[in-house]
Amino acid sequence: MTLDARIRNLILATAKDHVSFYLYDEVTLEDRIRRLRSAFAHEQILYSIKCNPHRAILNKIFSSGIDADAASLGEVYAASDCGVPSDHIFYSAPGKSQYSLEHALGQCILIADSLQEIQRIEELAGKRNMKVTIGVRINPDFSFTSATGSPSKFGIDEREFLNALPRLKQLQHVIIIGLHTHIRSQELDWQVLFSYYENVFALAGHIQLALGTPLLFINLGSGIGIPYTATEHEVDIDALAKKLEQLRFLRQDTLAQARVLIESGRYLAGPCGWYVTHVVDTKTSHGKRIAILQNTLNGFLRPCLEQFITQIAPAAAPREPLFYKNGSTPFYVLNEETETEEVTLYGNLCTAADLIAKDMVLPRLACGDVVVFPQAGAYSASLTPFQFSSQVPPAEIYCRREG
- The string of pLDDT tens digits covering residues 166-197 is 999 999 999 999 999 999 889 999 999 999 99
Q: What are the percentages of helix, strand and coil residues in the chain, rounded to 5?
A: 35, 25, 40
Spatial distance between the Cα atoms of 261 and 92, rounded to a whole number of angstroms:
13
Question: Which domain does 345 fall in, by range?
Answer: 271-399
If asked whether residues 255 and 277 sit together in one domain, one would say: no
If asked whether residues 186 and 290 sit together in one domain, one would say: no
Asked, for residue 61, whether it belongs to a domain, the answer is: no
Query: According to the model, what pLDDT value does residue 112 have?
Result: 98
Spatial distance between the Cα atoms of 3 and 330, rounded to a whole number of angstroms:
11
CATH of the domain at 301: 2.40.37.10
Query: According to the model, what pLDDT value does residue 145 have?
Result: 82
Asked, for residue 52, whether it belongs to a domain, the answer is: no
Q: Which residues of the chain have pLDDT under 50?
A: none
Asked, for residue 306, whether it belongs to a domain, the answer is: yes
If asked whether residues 176 and 308 sit together in one domain, one would say: no
Count Cβ neighbours within 10 Å for each residue of 85-120 and write b for 16 or more, e otherwise.
eeebbbbbbeebeeebbeebbebbbbbbbbbebbeb
Asked, for residue 225, whether it belongs to a domain, the answer is: yes
Domain end point (choices 199, 232, 263): 263
The answer to whether residues 158 and 204 touch, using CB atoms and an 8 Å cutoff, is no
Asked, for residue 20, whether it belongs to a domain, the answer is: no
One-letter identity of residue 358: K
If asked whether residues 84 and 131 sit together in one domain, one would say: yes
Q: What are phi and psi of 401, to 5 degrees?
A: -55, -40
If asked whether residues 200 and 319 sit together in one domain, one would say: no
If asked whether residues 118 and 189 sit together in one domain, one would say: yes
One-letter identity of residue 342: E
Asked, for residue 19, whether it belongs to a domain, the answer is: no
One-letter identity of residue 99: Y
3-state DSSP call for residue 342?
strand
Asked, for residue 304, whether it belongs to a domain, the answer is: yes
Query: According to the model, what pLDDT value does residue 1 have?
Result: 63
If asked whether residues 337 and 226 sit together in one domain, one would say: no
CA distances from 69 to 118, 122, 140 (A): 19, 22, 20
Asked, for residue 186, whether it belongs to a domain, the answer is: yes
Q: How many structural domains does the chain have?
A: 2
Spatial distance between the Cα atoms of 214 and 256, rounded to a whole number of angstroms:
8
Domain end point (choices 263, 286, 309): 263
The answer to whether residues 22 and 280 touch, using CB atoms and an 8 Å cutoff, is no
The answer to whether residues 331 and 373 touch, using CB atoms and an 8 Å cutoff, is yes
Q: Which of 181, 67, 175 is nearest to 113 (CA)?
A: 181
344 membership: H or E segment, kind and range: strand 340-347
- The string of pLDDT tens digits covering residues 89-118 is 999 999 999 999 999 999 999 999 999 999
If asked whether residues 258 and 320 sit together in one domain, one would say: no
If asked whether residues 96 and 203 sit together in one domain, one would say: yes
Instruction: Please state whether the predicted TM-score (pTM) of the whole model is above 0.75.
Output: yes
CATH of the domain at 109: 3.20.20.10
Spatial distance between the Cα atoms of 46 and 67, rounded to a whole number of angstroms:
5
Dihedral (Cα; 22, 28, 30, 35), 10-degree rounding: -130
Q: Report the residue count for the chain.
A: 403
If asked whether residues 189 and 124 sit together in one domain, one would say: yes
Query: According to the model, what pLDDT value does residue 82 have?
Result: 98
Domain end point (choices 229, 263, 297): 263
